[in-house]
Structure 1
Amino acid sequence: MARTVAHVIVDALKELGVRHVFGVVGDALNPLTDAIRTTDDLDWVGCRHEEAAAFAASAQSQLSDTLGVCMGTVGPGSVHLLNGLYDAAKSRTPVLAICGQVPLAEVGSDYFQEVDNDLLFRDVAVYRATVTSPDQMPRMLESAVRAAVTQGGVAVLTVPGDLGDQELSEDRPTRFALAAPRTRPEDPALAEAAELLNSASRVTLLVGRGAREARTEVLRAAELLAAPMVLTLKAKEGFEGDNPFQVGQTGLIGNPAAAHALDNGDALLMLGTDFPYRDWYPTGCKVVQVDTRAEHLGRRVPVDVGLAGDVGATLRALLPLLEAASDRTHLDGARERFARWEEGQQRLADPGHERRWTGRLRAALDNRDHEIRPEALAAAVDRYADEDAVFTSDTGMATVWLSRFVGMRGSRRLVGSYNLGSMANAMPQALGAQLWAPDRQVVAFCGDGGLSMLLGDLMTIKTYGLPVKLVVFDNRRLGMVKLEQEQAGLPEFGTQLDNPDFAAVATALGLTGIRVTDPAQLHDSVRRAMQTPGPVLLDVLTNPEEVAVPGKPTVAQGWGFAIAKIKETLSSHEG
């Protein structure tokens, strides 16, 4: 019996091991959602907003290293996918978006809700095409999936509403052939890199997510070179725990030890990272970069030796050429600086800090109402969350506190919009993560601005009984924007948020809602949230004046902040 276009797609998704399809139902998708309804081991997850669906699919793909799938119906339904798909594209994770379209005969007539999907998704997708005949299947689907998986990106397949239930005249099984090659550079390039690294006296490693599968080789390289290891945020997962070489992150969320390790090395070895902030790279040192994508070599900082290849395969060939360093001064000094910085951070996270004279002095400047410190909240979550918890975080200050106070030890995982930098990602990504790992704890670090932007999908969490733990850093601000304005010398403007009681909203929706306003109740409340069965929203009112000092604060930033505070004070008196 011949299959329909919809069944070819759905059967292939099941064959690929896809377990969930995220979206919002609609007329053009009816043949596809009906095929999912009658297919075992493939579940439809009905979201309240297609953007949440795309974020959830992206999170599943990043966690599973397999294809994520979302769907949007004609016009607005597909348009709403766009931001979540950009997150997948920037994260270089494979996601297939199935989009509805008006009936084939009406395409090009400016029909009701008609949108040119092939044009709309041109920038975000590595593959995009519209099915115009049943007999283009399964070949077109194979091309879409193959492009997404092999290129690590988004594929968009558009299916007009009247084609989904049409039968193929000649049916055949799908064939994907998705095996990925492992490449490494030629021997002369490796020898050149080894000569550069062996001749250096102070080597620093900058390690990104692209090195995750080569942890053993990366640690061996750090050991041979006696090199401190600076991690990108995405490399926290996989390299932070049980690592005697790591010194934390660089950049605005980073710390002085990492900045010092970079600035005081005479050679930098970059492994699987495309860290974008040029101002945070060292100057005046030799650079070796390893990346699977040759086009990434040298685009952030000039490189002396660029090695295009898989990090693991490249290091396995490079390690025998490296000489063991005898001087560990650079490594030991960086680790000592990092330990001192961590001790200072933990003091800030201590709920009793403000009872000491140093804490009272600081509070007089930035926390006169003695509200809960976000550092203390993040540290408490780190303490009570499971050792195999999956964390997500909203872009902004929530990510800063997670970066500094949550350790990726054990088998913990981490997902966020760390390349696109979107708001509102943490909650829908947690939704996808919980469906991917139903027996693991999933904790979302939500900004109040981010959570409120896609608040409706709390109902999706309730509908599917997902036991996610949503931790809301409720500072009634767009906190990162506030900090950016003040560092530039501008008074805070437009960042204040008139928030509801998020815990009460959660309770009204059928979730467990917990609201915390007293620092003395913080630890008990966090413990209760982590241990309560089912979905929990922990709404913690945090200090809106908290400042995250970057690893290398500049005089201009400090002066700008002082000027901004003067302007804010004058404005409040005028009001």
Structure 2
Amino acid sequence: MARTVARVIVDALSELGVRQVFGVVGDALNPLTDAIRTTDDVEWVGCRHEEAAAFAASAQSQLTDRLGVCMGTVGPGSVHLLNGLYDAAKSRTPVLAIAGQVPLSELGSDSFQEIDNDLLFRDVAVFRATITDPDQLPQLLETAVRNALGRKGVAVLTVPGDIGDRELHADRPARFSLTTPTTRPEASAVRRAADLLDHADRITLLVGQGARAARGDVLALADRLAAPMVLTLKAKEGFEGDNHFQVGQTGLIGNPAAAGAMQTADTLLLLGTDFPYRDWYPEGRTVIQVDTEPAHIGRRVPVDIGLVGDVGATARDLLDHLAAEPGELGDLGGARDRGHLEEARERFLGWRKDQARLADPTHDRGLVGKVRSALDNREHGIRPEALAAAVDRSATDDAIFTSDTGMATVWLSRFVEMRGARRLLGSYNLGSMANAMPQALGAQYLDRDRQVVAFCGDGGLSMLLGDLMTLRTYRLPVKLVVFDNRRLGMVKLEQEQAGLPEFGTVLDNPDFAAVATAIGITGIRVTDPGDLDDAVRRAFATPGPVLLDVLTNPDEIAVPAKPTVEQGWGFAVAKVKELLRSHGDETHH
């Protein structure tokens, strides 16, 4: 019996191990959603916004390295997918988007809701095509999936409204066999790199997401080189816990120890990272870069030797060629002088100790806290550092964390340790708002028994607030932690560092806990620092979805890893302007 286009697509998704398809129903998708309805092992997840559907699919793909799938119907339904798909593309994760289209007979007539999907998705997709004949399947679907998986990107398949329920004349099963080879750099390049490393005095590693599968090899290399290890945000997962070499992150969300480890090195070894912030690379250093993508070599900082290959295989090759003998892993008494490593670690541990004091909910009661709060917390709001630290203490060691772009990510990066089997997701390449909650939605669907925690900014949460109802509908036990500072906090900080008074950043928020309660989700609101720890524990102990709305200090200062005089002066000028404006407003009223 011949199958329809919709049935071929859904059966293929089932074969690929896809268990959820996220989207919003609509006329062009009806044959597809009906095929899902009659398939036992593929579930339709009806979201309130297609952007949330794309974020959820991307989250599943990033966590599993398998294909994530989302759908949007004709016109606006497909347009709404774009932001989440751009995030998947920038994260280099495989996602298949099925887009609806007007009937074939209407194409090109400027029909109601007609858009050119192949043109619309041109920039975001590694592959895009419109099915115009049923017999293009399953080959066209195979091509789309292989491009998504093989090129680690977005594939978009457009299905016109009168194609989905048409039958194939020559039906055959879809075949998706695809293997990923392990690549190694040229032996001569490895020898040259090993020679440079042997003659270097102070080596620092910058380790990224591309090295996460090679943790043991990277730790062995750090030990052999007596090198402190600076982590990108995406490398927190996999390298932060139980690591005697790591010194945290550099960049705006980083710390002085990591920035110092980069600046005082004479040689930088970049492993699986495309860290994009050029201002944070020191100048005049010897640089060796390892990456599977040739196009990544040297595009952020000039490179002396580029090694194109898998981080694990390359690290093992380097270890075979390095002259120095390794000491015991984690032991500070090996063959190399380990002063550079010891200095960086001592500075990092000191910084963490200072941060821990600030994260104490009782901090503002002490003398130093009272002085500081008079400057930056006059209303005695809950410090966001304390909230992040309380979540870190209460969350399980296999929790999945998501974070909204902005200050929520800053506090997570500094106060939540990716120990054990913890996972981390965010819009760390695109930098979109509103990603944390829908990514948590997709993550929770993978395992309802695993703890999923979303660090939500109040601006990000309110942007896609409607999909709180999706959590409620499917009873997904996500814990939403809302940093409710009534501000677009990162923008506020950027304005003030430039010497500008904050403008346009104030948010007129509702009581988010009350909103959650009205929707049918447990809502907890915290306004007193003394209630914080109990509230966090209660939120994590409550079954089902929970929204924890914590009123945090809107004037909290996140000092960059290497603050400049210009930034400090700009901040001071901005604060004077804000004070004068506030006084003028009070006088006027």
Q: Which interval holds the TM-score relative to the shorter structure? A: over 0.9
Counterpart of 1:523 in structure 2: which amino acid? D
What is the Cα deviation at residue 322 of structure 1?
A: 1.5
Q: Are 2:469 and 1:459 equivalent residues in the alignment?
A: yes
What residue number does 1:540 align with? Answer: 550
What residue number does 2:242 align with? Answer: 242
What is the SS of the residue equivalent to 1:126?
strand
What is the SS of the residue equivalent to 1:220?
helix
What residue number does 1:263 align with? Answer: 263
What residue number does 1:489 align with? Answer: 499
What residue number does 1:62 align with? Answer: 62
Q: How far apart are the structure 2 equivalents of 1:235 and 1:280?
A: 17
Alignment of 1:100-499 (within 5 A): 100-324=100-324, 325-499=335-509
Q: What are the superposed Cα offsets for residues 54-104 of structure 1, whole Å, 9 maximum, x if unpaired?
A: 000000000011100000000000000000000000000000000000001
Counterpart of 2:127 in structure 1: which amino acid? Y
Q: How far apart are the structure 1 equivalents of 2:323 and 2:576?
A: 56
Q: What are the superposed Cα offsets for residues 494-513 of structure 1, whole Å, 9 maximum, x if unpaired?
A: 00000000000000000000
What is the Cα deviation at residue 548 of structure 1?
A: 0.4
Question: Considering only aligned residues, what root-mean-square deviation do their CA atoms show, in Å?
Answer: 0.6
What is the Cα deviation at residue 309 of structure 1?
A: 1.1
Counterpart of 2:23 in structure 1: which amino acid? G
Q: How far apart are the structure 2 equivalents of 1:570 and 1:307?
A: 56
Whether the aligned pair in 2 keeps the contact of 1:224 and 1:323 (CA below 8 Å) is no
Counterpart of 2:106 in structure 1: which amino acid? E
Q: Percent identity?
A: 78
The runs of at least 4 consecutive aligned structure 1 residues that moved more than 6 Å come to none
Q: What are the superposed Cα offsets for residues 297-336 of structure 1, whole Å, 9 maximum, x if unpaired?
A: 0000000000111111211222111133520000000000
Q: How far apart are the structure 2 equivalents of 1:189 and 1:439?
A: 47
Q: How far apart are the structure 1 equivalents of 2:12 and 2:154?
A: 17
Q: How far apart are the structure 1 equivalents of 2:506 and 2:251?
A: 26
What is the SS of the residue equivalent to 2:548?
strand
Whether the aligned pair in 2 keeps the contact of 1:225 and 1:323 (CA below 8 Å) is no
What is the Cα deviation at residue 154 of structure 1?
A: 0.3
Q: How far apart are the structure 2 equivalents of 1:198 and 1:371?
A: 52
Alignment of 1:507-546 (within 5 A): 507-546=517-556
Q: How far apart are the structure 2 equivalents of 1:406 and 1:191?
A: 39
Counterpart of 2:123 in structure 1: which amino acid? D
Gaps spanning 5+ residues in structure 2: where? 325-334
Q: How far apart are the structure 2 equivalents of 1:33 and 1:116?
A: 22
What is the Cα deviation at residue 29 of structure 1?
A: 0.2
Choose from 563, 569, 584 the match for 1:553. 563
Q: How far apart are the structure 2 equivalents of 1:34 and 1:511?
A: 29
What is the SS of the residue equivalent to 2:111?
coil
What is the SS of the residue equivalent to 2:45?
strand
Q: How many residues align?
A: 575
Gaps spanning 5+ residues in structure 1: where? none
What residue number does 1:90 align with? Answer: 90
Counterpart of 1:117 in structure 2: which amino acid? N
What is the SS of the residue equivalent to 2:525?
strand
Counterpart of 1:83 in structure 2: which amino acid? N
Alignment of 1:21-60 (within 5 A): 21-60=21-60
What is the Cα deviation at residue 285 of structure 1?
A: 1.0
Counterpart of 1:338 in structure 2: which amino acid? F
What residue number does 2:329 align with? Answer: none
What is the Cα deviation at residue 127 of structure 1?
A: 0.3
What residue number does 2:331 align with? Answer: none
Q: How far apart are the structure 1 equivalents of 2:264 and 2:284?
A: 10
What residue number does 2:330 align with? Answer: none
What is the SS of the residue equivalent to 1:85?
helix
Q: How far apart are the structure 2 equivalents of 1:384 and 1:507?
A: 23
Counterpart of 2:94 in structure 1: which amino acid? P
Q: How far apart are the structure 1 equivalents of 2:365 and 2:486?
A: 25
Q: What are the superposed Cα offsets for residues 327-359 of structure 1, whole Å, 9 maximum, x if unpaired?
A: 000000000000000000000000111111111
Q: How far apart are the structure 2 equivalents of 1:267 and 1:172?
A: 56
Counterpart of 2:405 in structure 1: which amino acid? T
Whether the aligned pair in 2 keeps the contact of 1:491 and 1:564 (CA below 8 Å) is yes
Q: How far apart are the structure 1 equivalents of 2:195 and 2:56?
A: 45
What is the SS of the residue equivalent to 1:340?
helix
TM-score, normalisation: structure 2: 0.97
Whether the aligned pair in 2 keeps the contact of 1:444 and 1:468 (CA below 8 Å) is yes
What is the Cα deviation at residue 437 of structure 1?
A: 1.9
